[in-house]
Amino acid sequence: MWQTHPNPLQDNTAYSVVKQYFVNPDDTVCQKIVVHKDGPRGNHFRRAGPRQRVYFEPDEVHACIVTCGGLCPGLNTVIREIVCGLSDMYGVTKILGIQGGYRGFYARNTIDLTPKSVNDIHKRGGTILGSSRGGHDTMKIVDSIQYRGINQVYVIGGDGSQRGAGVIFEEVRKRGLKVAVAGIPKTIDNDIPVIDKSFGFDSAVEEAQRAINAAHVEAGSADNGIGLVKLMGRYSGFIAHYATLASRDVDCCLIPESPFYLEGEGGLFKYIEKRLKENGHMVIVVAEGAGQKLIAENMKEMGQDASGNALLLDVGLWLSQKINEHFKKNKTTINLKYIDPTYMIRAIPSNASDNVYCTLLAHSVVHGAMAGYTGFTVGQVNGRHCYIPFYRITEKQNKVSITDRMWARLLSSTNQPSFLSKQDVDDAKVEDERTAKLLDGSPSNPKVEDKVVPSNSNGVK
């Protein structure tokens, strides 16, 4: 049986007005809330929040925070709120910032973090800790954790970084160390499954509007004007999808999940000709991972980055060239303007709603680690924050469902052709069925079959 201690929050006057502040440790959150009366109820995850008793004494805590992977709005807010949550709510004083991603653990690049040092960082984009791809050496990282006496590790990163955190958790457990390893999922593409959305996504969509608005102004100010905007979305087109829906100025949205073709009836070129004839201008939004199968095989990929992601050819430049070539061949003059706001979108500070969301995520992960949970990431599922085993958010990618109502709403808004063959639709339905099975609680990882984060296997011992 664990030795536990009273939660310091019970003596915190700021929280004394809350009617029921502490969460029952047996409370769970359902991943699937719409079910048939005779159907499976799906996965449940342990509800996030403060417990009446905690595993760690505040003066014994030595925490560290690391940010990994690409930039995303809200990183600094999450860092700030983990630090302030540990300090203000629990009285923790020893908090390290690991600089430069995972390799910072063994390169020994660290800074001390205090509420004063992080006071206004939420107003800045990027991450004060720096970040990098790759550099994950499990043994060196855990050696460093053990050598420094760290007992709480907070990993802010995407699916690859969360997978790495899961490996760290397993090695920590193998060594019998009393260390809580917790994650905060980060992806600007919103491609992490299970959770409602990832932090920074709302800010990214909002900023994408500026690029779309500029493209619309440029296109509308010229004869046969075409505004082409490339947005982030390597394998998942959520930013392009939601920015298009929010804008209502977009005539065509192209994403990785929905194949398209250029030539012939029902193709992109015919649709562009139609829109130019009707309106005199048009706006196209394309996600960076769209149309890769149309690009020549020898130009499709230019190797991989340090995280193992394919380096794709710039589909925006390629599409600009193809559109210009098509209309030049047909002796039609067009005015095409190409806008790529990729690094502008990911480098901005988070907006108001993301700042609040980041705060809730950070406080939730702190409550979980202090209570002794480990091997989990924190996220909002159906509006409730909960603790999710690492493997659950790394077993697949969240993608736009082209058989979903939201995609139908986009097609209705843009009036673009679907570009889909019957085979494309059938393939999409198969993928949707596979996703539904995961929601029903059919684990793709046969080693882990718990539907709830179990305290006996996912708690610090």
Show which residues are catalytic: 189
Please indicate if the annotation marks 288 as binding a ligand: yes
Whether residue 97 is annotated as binding a ligand: the answer is no
Q: Is 188 annotated as a binding residue?
A: yes
State yes or no: 85 annotated in a binding site. Answer: no
Q: Is 139 annotated as a binding residue?
A: no
Per the annotation, does 69 bind a ligand?
no
Judge whether 346 is annotated as a binding position. Answer: yes
The response to whether 70 counts as a known ligand-binding position is yes
3-state secondary structure the chain: CCCCEECHHHHCHHHCCCCCCCCCCCCEEECCCCCCCCCCCCCEEEECCCCCEECCCHHHCEEEEEECCCCCCCHHHHHHHHHHHHHHHHCCCEEEEECCCCHHHHHCCEEECCCCCCCCHHHCCCCCCCCCCCCCCHHHHHHHHHHHCCCEEEEEECHHHHHHHHHHHHHHHHHCCCCEEEEEEECCCCCCCCCCCCECHHHHHHHHHHHHHHHHHHHHCCCCEEEEEEECCCCCCHHHHHHHHHHCCCCEEECCCCCCCCCCCCCHHHHHHHHHHHHCEEEEEEECCCCHHHCCHHHHEEEECCCCCEEECCHHHHHHHHHHHHHHHCCCCCEEEEECCHHHHHCCCCCHHHHHHHHHHHHHHHHHHHCCECCEEEEEECCEEEEEEHHHHHCCCCCCCCCCHHHHHHHHHHCCCCCCCHHHHHHHHHHHHHHHHHHCCCCCCCCCCCCCCCCCCCECC
Q: Do the annotations mark residue 233 as ligand-binding?
A: yes
406 annotated as a binding-site residue: no
User: Is 232 annotated to bind ligand?
Assistant: yes
Tokens of 319: 């599409």
Q: Is 148 annotated as a binding residue?
A: no
80 is known to lie in a ligand binding site: no
37 strand-pairing partners: none
The annotated binding site for ATP is made up of 70, 133-134, 158-161
The annotated binding site for substrate is made up of 187-189, 232-234, 288, 343-346
The annotated binding site is made up of 70, 133-134, 158-161, 187-189, 232-234, 288, 343-346
The annotated binding site for Mg(2+) is made up of 159
